Structure 1
């Protein structure tokens, strides 16, 4: 009898632990709106013949209090097809701001990857329609305002412009982006190293952080230093043209 009770207690503890793990996997503190500089991406990938002088969305990632994207059970890619088939306007809007840049790439396949890997973590508070419409809402209501259409315009206003001759300090880039997100809100700058010269680094992505409603910018956590591939060359970042 005691042995049976012991096994029952162990079973219940395992179940409770599993629930806690699942709850932890699906809880998040902020959303990272990650935009990539197209020209950098296309330096190492064969891309479609599209204008490359703007940022496009890489992903919308639920993140924890340390600023790292969450790991969670994967959603169904077929849900993306169902959503897009029923909302042609949403698909058109996403194609403009969240395209698959690869020459052989398919937009829906890209969105399915982002939804199943990242977006599904927010499913309880941001179901799939709210998630993708939220990405459009951030662009339309928070970025494409005041005669600006792209994050590039905020960088230019801060004196940061694409160039093969100029290099920029990471903090200068952050300060320029803070014209959009607010002076007290930190953002992440991600880099990639040139394959031929390890001393040359290019701007890869900028991570903007938002609250879980996607309506307000918040500060990306700074408790843990995260170089995001920029290494020690944070004063030598190139924004390729």
Structure 2
């Protein structure tokens, strides 16, 4: 094989590698916007939270997801620069705190960006756009689960709730689309730990969450007596 032929073969192989990598990184068809209830999240950890948690649902993460269960993760490696976040930091500390260590929010954001956000191209353009998008969803687009539940008169009073009441309340705030719930038993009571709202690949509209936590899982929610 001559030099020209070798160059041609190398070019073909390189192109195939790039194609495979790009298709792998883009293998998602919807987004999960997951929020955690701070009190329950703290109760589910063996190490107590350093600061008193608030009675609020705050962001856990925005995750590009695949309806078949093969969610992409760690699509590239980059470090979130706290300086580059600028005035976004104040909003992020409120809506997206590191509940387990409020002295180190940046490591939580960095982990979420690297594990999930890097896989959101082309909908998510870069790390700053990732955080701007979450702020927009939580505040501007009113996808704050605490407020959605409050509008349905479901307040964080530590009362036992029916699963259907929680789901119906959230459906009213998401164009009648089905959320995903995560619960966990602590000290003989089952608490609502997380609520996930699902959106299409372009983040332009809600969809029914494709994959629910299966019955029998330690994170599945019972039909009644869910503490919130």
Using the size of structure 2 for normalisation, the TM-score is: 0.80
**2:220 matched residue in structure 1:** 231
CA deviations over 1:47-106 (Å, ceiling 9, x no partner): 2435511111001111112466433434212xx11xx41342111111111011123651
1:234, CA displacement in angstroms? 3.0
Alignment check: 8 A CA contact 1:75 1:115 kept: no
Structure 2 vs 1, CA of residues 59 and 85 (structure 1 numbering), >3 Å: closer, same or farther?
same
**2:161 matched residue in structure 1:** 168
**1:4 matched residue in structure 2:** none
Match runs of 1:107-186 below 5 Å: 107-126=105-124, 127-143=126-142, 150-164=144-158, 166-183=159-176, 185-186=177-178
**1:61 matched residue in structure 2:** 63
1:173, CA displacement in angstroms? 0.8
* Runs of 4 or more above 6 Å deviation: none
- The runs of 5 or more residues in structure 2 that have no matched partner are 2-8
Give the alignment's Cα RMSD to 1 decimal.
Answer: 3.0
**2:24 matched residue in structure 1:** 24
Instruction: Give the number of equivalent residue pairs.
Output: 216
Match runs of 1:54-93 below 5 Å: 54-66=56-68, 69-77=71-79, 80-81=80-81, 84-93=82-91
1:191, CA displacement in angstroms? 0.9
1:22, CA displacement in angstroms? 5.2
1:132, CA displacement in angstroms? 0.9
Alignment check: 8 A CA contact 1:167 1:236 kept: yes
SS of the equivalent of 1:41 reads helix
Distance 1:225 1:104 in 2: 30
Distance 1:47 1:103 in 2: 7
- The runs of 5 or more residues in structure 1 that have no matched partner are 2-8, 145-149
Distance 2:63 2:103 in 1: 21
1:238, CA displacement in angstroms? 0.9
Structure 2 vs 1, CA of residues 47 and 153 (structure 1 numbering), >3 Å: closer, same or farther?
same
Using the size of structure 1 for normalisation, the TM-score is: 0.76
